[in-house]
């Protein structure tokens, strides 16, 4: 049984705690948050007796196998370095870092300490997205040459996370990072990216719409588009829609989790709706299920000493895409993911 502690008891961290209660092989024994009221409420909700308002005290007092860091991005570097120095494995919320320098520093700290570092990049762990990947890997589509990964909504995300309205960066860093990671997951690593961003909602500080074109190293081209300003007749938040064209067939993951695969064998339609976990609620249930899936994967990796799918090192590639997208949008250029430009 791996003993863990949660650092950060905010809005989304409640999903983490529900999921940890269901993860096989994990036992959450302590909580940490600087907000005493929020800390107390979470401890009471999940029956956790040992609580701390200082992470350094947490690591001194507890014998931990892992720490779940679910704090704001600005605190990730010191907390990851503190956990690594304490010899504790780490799962860290996304976005992993504000800068590539911080991200590289965290991966270096974990590597030097010999601890596992995984980023809580959970969208690829939604069961409908895993099903799409399985269809691609089965060869049902032949070789993919074009794709689209889309998340368009007008859902009020600001009420639960008000900082999203005031951050200097918004949709690419907060949501687009997930969708870019799904594109990497499905089509492989990226050679170049072109991006356009726009702020539609005048009440927020940063961009709430982004459209990105990725040229993948294996030859496919994908479109990644994100919006929190799209008012549809029916709201499908928080579904990710996927289209893939391949040399041998096509795939569409449509609204309401309807999957259609068409190839020489015919047209196959399946409902790939995620399960509604006992503690989950619609419409968040697909996200909540992915939290359980990724946290179970993390513990399994600890048990067999394997590298997690979304390790810190792997997530550097997704963060590179985020930085390259902002660079491209600002400069009107096509950006190489190495940080150099191709015009």
Q: What percent of the chain has pLDDT over 70?
A: 98
What is the arithmetic mean of pLDDT over 242-267?
A: 98
The rounded distance, in Å, linking the Cα atoms of 340 and 343 is: 10
The rounded distance, in Å, linking the Cα atoms of 147 and 185 is: 12
- Token readout for 192 is 């170049």
Q: pTM for this one? A: 0.94
- Residue 284: its pLDDT value, please? 94
- Token readout for 75 is 């605190």
Choices 3.40.50.720, 1.10.760.10, 3.40.50.1110, 3.90.220.20: CATH for 2-115: 3.40.50.720
What is the arithmetic mean of pLDDT over 332-341?
A: 65
What is the arithmetic mean of pLDDT over 260-280?
A: 98
Residue 339: is its pLDDT beyond 60?
no
Dihedral over Cα of 156, 159, 162, 166: its sign: positive
Fold exhibited by the domain 127-280+318-342? Dihydrodipicolinate Reductase; domain 2 (3.30.360)
pLDDT band at 87 (very low <50, low <70, confident <90, very high): very high
Q: Do domains 2-115 and 127-280+318-342 have the same CATH topology?
A: no
Residue 34 CB neighbours (<10 A): 15
Q: Which of 184, 166, 252, 261 is nearest to 222 (CA)?
A: 184
pLDDT band at 341 (very low <50, low <70, confident <90, very high): very low
Strand partners, 271: 258
Residue 343: is its pLDDT beyond 60?
no
Residue 56: is its pLDDT beyond 60?
yes
What is the arithmetic mean of pLDDT over 69-84?
A: 97
What is the arithmetic mean of pLDDT over 208-228?
A: 98
Range list of H helices, the chain: 13-22, 36-46, 55-61, 76-85, 100-113, 127-138, 171, 177-187, 285-304, 312-331
Phi, psi for residue 298 in degrees, rounded to 5: -60, -50
Coil, strand, or helix at residue 227? strand
Cis peptide before 2 (omega within 30 of 0): no
- Residue 235: its pLDDT value, please? 95
- Residue 337: its pLDDT value, please? 62
Question: What tens digit of pLDDT does each residue of 90-125 get?
Answer: 999 999 998 999 999 999 999 999 999 999 999 999
Mean pLDDT of the chain: 96
Contact between 256 and 144 under an 8 Å Cβ cutoff? The reply is: no
DSSP state of 265: T
The domain limits of the chain are: 2-115, 127-280+318-342
The rounded distance, in Å, linking the Cα atoms of 289 and 277 is: 7
Distances (CA, A) of 218 to 77, 142, 269, 330, 334: 33, 13, 28, 27, 18
Residue 334: is its pLDDT beyond 90?
no
Question: What tens digit of pLDDT does each residue of 141-161 get?
Answer: 999 999 999 999 999 999 988
pLDDT band at 338 (very low <50, low <70, confident <90, very high): low
What is the arithmetic mean of pLDDT over 209-219?
A: 97
């Amino acid at each position: 049984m791996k003993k863990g502690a949660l650092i950060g008891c905010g809005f989304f961290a409640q999903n983490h705690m529900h999921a940890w209660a269901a993860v096989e092989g994990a036992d959450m024994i302590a909580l940490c948050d600087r907000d005493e009221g929020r800390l107390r409420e979470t401890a009471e909700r999940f029956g956790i007796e040992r609580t701390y308002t200082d992470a350094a005290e947490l690591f001194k007092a507890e014998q931990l196998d892992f720490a779940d860091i679910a704090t704001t991005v600005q605190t990730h570097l010191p907390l990851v370095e503190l956990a690594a120095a304490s010899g504790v494995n780490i799962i860290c919320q996304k976005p992993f870092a504000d800068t590539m320098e911080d991200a590289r520093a965290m991966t270096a700290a974990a590597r030097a300490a010999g601890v596992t570092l995984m980023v809580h990049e959970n969208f690829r762990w939604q069961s409908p997205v895993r099903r799409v990947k399985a269809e691609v890997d089965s060869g049902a589509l032949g070789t993919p040459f074009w794709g689209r990964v889309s998340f368009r909504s007008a859902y009020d995300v600001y009420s639960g996370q008000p900082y999203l309205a005031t951050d200097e960066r918004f949709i690419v860093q907060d949501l687009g990072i997930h969708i870019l990671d799904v594109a990497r997951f499905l089509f492989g690593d990226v050679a170049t990216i072109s991006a356009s961003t726009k702020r539609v909602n005048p009440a927020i500080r940063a961009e709430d719409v982004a459209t990105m074109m990725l040229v993948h190293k294996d030859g496919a081209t994908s479109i990644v588009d994100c919006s929190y300003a799209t008012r549809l007749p029916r709201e499908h938040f928080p579904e990710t829609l996927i289209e893939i064209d391949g040399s041998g067939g096509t795939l569409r993951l449509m609204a309401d989790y309807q999957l259609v695969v068409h190839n020489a064998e015919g047209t196959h339609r399946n409902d790939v709706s995620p399960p509604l976990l006992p503690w989950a609620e619609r419409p968040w249930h697909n996200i909540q299920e992915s939290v359980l899936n990724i946290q179970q994967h993390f513990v399994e990796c600890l048990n067999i000493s394997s590298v997690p799918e979304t390790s810190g090192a792997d997530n550097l590639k997704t963060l590179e895409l985020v930085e390259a997208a902002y660079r491209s949008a600002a400069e009107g250029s096509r950006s190489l993911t190495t940080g150099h430009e191709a015009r």
